Amino acid sequence: MVTPATNRKLLCTAALIAPVLFISACGSPEPTTGGGGGADAGVGGSLSIATGGTGGVYYPLGGGIATVIRDNIEGYDATVQETNASADNMRLIENGSAQIAFGVGDVVSDAVEGVGEFEGSPLEICSLGNIYNNFMQVVTVDGTGIESVEDMQGKVISVGAPGGATEVGALRILEAAGIDPETGVERRQLGAAETVAALRDGTIDAGFWSGGLPTGALIDLASDGDMKLLPIGEYAEPLASEYGDYYVAADIPANTYEGQTEAVAAIASPNILVVSPTMDEQLQQDITRAIFDNEEALIQVHPSAEEMDASIAGDVPFIQTCPGAQVYFDEQ
C-alpha cells in the first residue's frame, strides 16, 4: 500500500487551479522549428505539448510547463494541445505532431514494448522523468445502486475517452472484476468533464477517470453533494501481476474532494513526460531543468506538482530516460 510518505507530499485538499500562469500557454499549436521530435537546441521555435482533456490535470499542468519553457529556455515558445491523452499522445510524438507528451505508465510501457494498442508497432520514445502519480478514480452518484465495480454489470459506464490511459485501465479493471468489457456493460467513451455532465443528467451510471489529485472536473461534481468514489485497490495486485509493476495500490486521501470523509482504496500509476529520442540532447536537458527547477511555479498551477522529485524522477524501469534528461538527473 502506498502511504502518504511514499507518495511524497501529495496534497489532499481540493485546491482550485491557478489559471494565470498557464492560460496564455494553452491553445492551438504553432508550427515548430526543426520538424517534429528533432527540435534542435539553440535553433529556437515552438514546442507543442500533448496533454489531455480540459477537465483533467494534464491540460493545466501542461500549460504551466509551457510557461516555464518559455520563461527559461531562450528562443523557445511552447503551446498545449488538448488530446484524448496517453495513447494518442504517444502517437503524436512518433509522427512529430507534438514534441513533448504526458503518458501514464501502463500506456507508455505498452508503446515501448509494442503491445496492447501498439501491437506489433513499438514506438521510439524516451522519458524526461516521472512527474506525479495518476490515480484511477471510479465515480458514481447516489441513486445508481452501484457500490463496487462488480455492481456495474449491465450498467451504462464511461470508460474514458478513446485512446487514453483511462480506457486502458478501465477495461483491465472490469476484466479483473469478472465483467466482460465488451458485453457486460454498456460502454461510453467520455473524458472527465463529459463524464461529470453525463452523471448529472443520468445518461451514465458510473465512470472511470485516471488523473492526478484532485481532478478539476471531480471537484465540480463533488460540489453537488452526491458523488461517491468506489474502492478499487483490490485490483492493483492482479493488474500488476498480469501487466506490470506500474499498477500500485494507493489511497485517495480523505477530504481530497468535498464530502469525501474517508480514504478510498484506489490504483496509482506514474505519469511520464515523453519526447522523441531524436530531440537534441541539450534541449532535452534544458527542458528537464526548466521543469524540475521550477517546481514551485508548477505547484501554483496544480497541486499534483508537489510530487515532483528530481532525485528519483529518472528511475523509470519501463522506458529509457532521455540522455539529456539523465545528465540533469545525475547532477541532483
Q: For the chain, how many helices (H) and strands (E)?
A: 10, 10
φ, ψ (nearest 5 deg) of residue 229: -95, 130
- Reading the block at residue 137, the C-alpha cell is 478514480
Catalogue all structural domains in the chain, each as residue range(s) with its CATH number: 19-130+272-331 (3.40.190.10), 134-269 (3.40.190.10)
pLDDT of 30 over the 80 cut: no
Which alpha helices (DSSP H) does 152-301 contain, by range?
165-176, 192-201, 216-222, 236-243, 281-292, 295-301
Average pLDDT over all residues of the chain = 88
pLDDT of 37 over the 60 cut: no
Query: What is residue 15's predicted lDDT score, i.e. its pLDDT?
Result: 34
237-260 pLDDT, tens digit per residue, is 999 999 988 899 999 999 999 999
Q: Cα–Cα distance between 162 and 264 in angstroms, integer?
A: 26
- Classify residue 265 by burial, with Cβ atoms within 10 Å: 0-12, 13-18, 19+: middle
Q: Cα–Cα distance between 217 and 219 in angstroms, integer?
A: 5
Statement: the pTM of the whole predicted model exceeds 0.85: no
Do the bridges between strand 76-81 and strand 227-229 make them parallel or antiparallel, or are there none, so unpaired? unpaired
Q: What is the three-class DSSP state of 81?
A: strand
Lowest mean pLDDT among 63-77, 98-112, 160-174: 160-174
256-302 pLDDT, tens digit per residue, is 999 999 999 999 999 999 999 999 999 999 999 999 999 999 999 99
In 3D space, the residue among 114, 111, 101 whose CA is nearest the CA of residue 272 turns out to be: 101
- CA-based R_g, the chain, Å: 19
